[in-house]
Amino acid sequence: MPDAVAAMTGRDRFLAALRRQPVDATPVWFMRQAGRSLPEYRALRARHDFMTMATTPELAATATLMPVARLGVDAAVLFADIMLPLAGMGVSFEIRPNAGPVIPEPIRSEADVARLRVADAEASTPYVFAALRLLRRELGDTTALLGFAGAPFTLACYLIEGKASREFPRAKALMYGRPDLWRRLMEVLTETTIGYLNGQIAAGADAVQLFDSWLGLLGPEAYRKHVLPYTRRIFAALPTYVPAIHFSTGSVALLDQIAASGCAAVSVDWRLPLDAAWERIGQGLAIQGNLDPTMLLTDWETTRDGALDVLARAAGRPGHVFNLGHGVLPETDPDRLARLVALVHGHASDGA
Ligand code: CP3
| Domain segments of the chain as ranges | 10-350
Predicted local distance difference test score (pLDDT) of residue 98: 85
Active site residue 81: yes
Burial 35-67 (b: 16+ CB within 10 A, else e): bbbbeebeeebeeeeeeebbbbbebbbbbbbbb
Q: Cα separations (Å) of 191 from 57, 82, 93, 119, 198? A: 24, 15, 19, 8, 11
Looking at residues 30-43, what average pLDDT do you find? 94
81 CA distance to ligand 1 centroid (A)? 6
13: CB partners within 8 A, 6+ apart: 23, 24, 25, 27, 74
* Mean pLDDT for the chain overall: 96
User: pLDDT-based confidence at 290, cuts 50/70/90?
Assistant: very high
Of ligand 1's listed atoms, the one at least distance from the Cα of 45 is 47
Looking at residues 204-221, what average pLDDT do you find? 98
Q: What CATH number has the domain spanning 10-350?
A: 3.20.20.210
Q: Which of 11, 20, 70, 81 is catalytic?
A: 81
Q: Tell whether the model's pLDDT for residue 232 goes beyond 70.
A: yes
**Residue with more model confidence, 175 or 5:** 175
Active site residue 241: no
Q: What is the pLDDT of residues 107-157, one digit of tens each?
A: 999 999 999 999 999 999 999 999 999 999 999 999 999 999 999 999 999
Looking at residues 323-343, what average pLDDT do you find? 97
Pocket of ligand 1 (CB under 6 A): 32-36, 45, 50, 77, 79-82, 95, 97, 100-101, 148, 164, 211, 213, 327
Q: Can you tell me the distance from the alpha carbon of 336 to that of 167, in angstroms, rounded to the nearest whole number?
A: 32
Predicted local distance difference test score (pLDDT) of residue 1: 47
Predicted local distance difference test score (pLDDT) of residue 351: 43
Pocket test for ligand 1, best of 82, 215, 245 (most atoms within 8 A of CB): 82
Looking at residues 18-43, what average pLDDT do you find? 96
Predicted local distance difference test score (pLDDT) of residue 352: 38
Q: Tell whether the model's pLDDT for residue 2 goes beyond 70.
A: no
Predicted local distance difference test score (pLDDT) of residue 7: 85
For the whole model, what pTM was predicted?
Answer: 0.96
Q: Can you tell me the distance from the alpha carbon of 315 to that of 317, in angstroms, rounded to the nearest whole number?
A: 6
Pocket test for ligand 1, best of 40, 62, 81, 217 (most atoms within 8 A of CB): 81
Predicted local distance difference test score (pLDDT) of residue 350: 45
Q: What is the pLDDT of residues 70-97, one digit of tens each?
A: 999 999 999 999 999 999 999 999 999 8
Looking at residues 307-333, what average pLDDT do you find? 97
Active site residue 45: yes
Predicted local distance difference test score (pLDDT) of residue 35: 82
**Residue with more model confidence, 189 or 99:** 189
